[in-house]
Each structure stands twice: as structure tokens, then as C-alpha cells.
């Protein structure tokens, strides 16, 4: 009888372990937010270079996640990347003249969009499909290194 209870408890712990792994996988892959996609309002921004930015990357203001990147496409007339972000509905008071920049979490971490609020009295949520006019592209580490090496080589030639 005691062996039966031990087997039941082992089974319970195995099921709880699988449930915890499933929840962790959903949280890490952001699949849990697939059902919340229709909530919020959309904002677009145009960038010369988005680096390694991906769909579902976070959008942050002051370090707080206020939304996610929902679409990335290429505009072949202006030769720019057009990034569509969905901002969560509770963040409705983001000024219309807010600027966007692409940052990296840590030295080699994931890329995200950081929003820097402006001073306009009108809000992004009031204008449907609004577009951020000020957007700073991603800083590409390889470009920085090549510029540094080029400047060092040019300095040695003088």
C-alpha cells in the first residue's frame, strides 16, 4: 500500500514538472501573448537599418515594456524598414512627437525598440495608425569596429 502512494506522489510531481516546463516555454517564446494580439493600438516607425530586430521584440519606455513589434516589412520606394508596433491599451498617454530608437539589451543581448516621449499634448492612441517621425536606426557592432579599424589605419599612414 505504501508503494502505491509513493508511485502516486511521483506521478503528481512528474505532471507538475511538465506543467512548469510548458509554462516556462510559453513565457520564453512569447506564445502566451498570441491571444492578446488584438488588444492595443498600432504605431509604425521607419528605420534605415533595424539590425537584428525581430517580430515579438519588446517595445519599452523607461525600461518598462509597453508593447511588442508585430510586423516588419521593407518599403522598396523609400528603401527603409517599416516596423509596426502594438502598444498595450493601458499606455494611452504617449505623446505624438515620441521618438523611437533600436537598442540592445547588454553587449550581445536581444534588440528592442526604446521610445523616448516628447512634449506634444496630443497622443499616439488618438491618431489611428500613427507613425513616429523620429527614428534612430540600430547601431551595428561590425560597422563600429570597421570604422575604428579604418581610422586607426588612416592614422598610421600619416
Structure confidence by residue, pLDDT tens digits, 51-93: 889 999 999 999 999 999 999 999 999 999 999 999 999 999 9
Domains of the chain, residue spans: 2-31, 37-142
- 33: confidence class by pLDDT, cuts 50, 70, 90: low
Cell numbers given for 142: 561590425
Q: What is the chain's mean pLDDT, rounded?
A: 87
Average confidence (pLDDT) over 113-135: 89
Whole-number pLDDT of residue 34: 54
User: How far out from the chain centre does Cα 129 lie?
Assistant: 18
* Higher-pLDDT residue of 111, 127: 111
Give the angle subtended at the CA of 107 by the CAs of 87 and 132, to the nearest 5°.
Answer: 30
Residue 78: C-alpha distances to residues 25, 45, 52, 98 (Å): 39, 13, 20, 22
Amino acid at each position: 500500500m505504501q508503494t502505491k502512494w509513493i508511485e502516486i506522489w511521483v506521478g503528481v510531481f512528474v505532471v507538475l514538472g511538465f506543467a512548469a516546463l510548458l509554462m516556462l516555454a510559453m513565457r520564453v517564446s512569447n506564445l502566451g501573448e498570441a491571444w492578446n494580439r488584438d488588444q492595443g493600438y498600432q504605431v509604425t516607425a521607419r528605420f534605415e537599418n533595424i539590425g537584428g530586430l525581430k517580430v515579438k521584440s519588446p517595445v519599452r519606455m523607461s525600461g518598462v515594456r509597453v508593447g511588442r513589434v508585430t510586423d516588419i516589412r521593407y518599403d522598396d520606394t523609400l528603401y527603409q524598414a517599416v516596423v509596426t508596433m502594438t502598444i498595450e491599451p493601458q499606455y494611452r498617454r504617449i505623446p505624438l512627437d515620441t521618438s523611437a530608437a533600436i537598442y540592445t539589451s547588454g553587449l550581445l543581448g536581444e534588440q528592442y525598440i526604446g521610445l523616448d516621449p516628447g512634449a506634444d499634448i496630443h497622443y499616439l492612441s488618438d491618431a489611428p495608425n500613427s507613425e513616429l517621425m523620429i527614428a534612430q536606426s540600430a547601431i551595428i557592432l561590425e560597422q563600429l569596429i570597421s570604422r575604428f579599424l579604418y581610422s586607426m589605419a588612416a592614422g598610421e599612414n600619416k
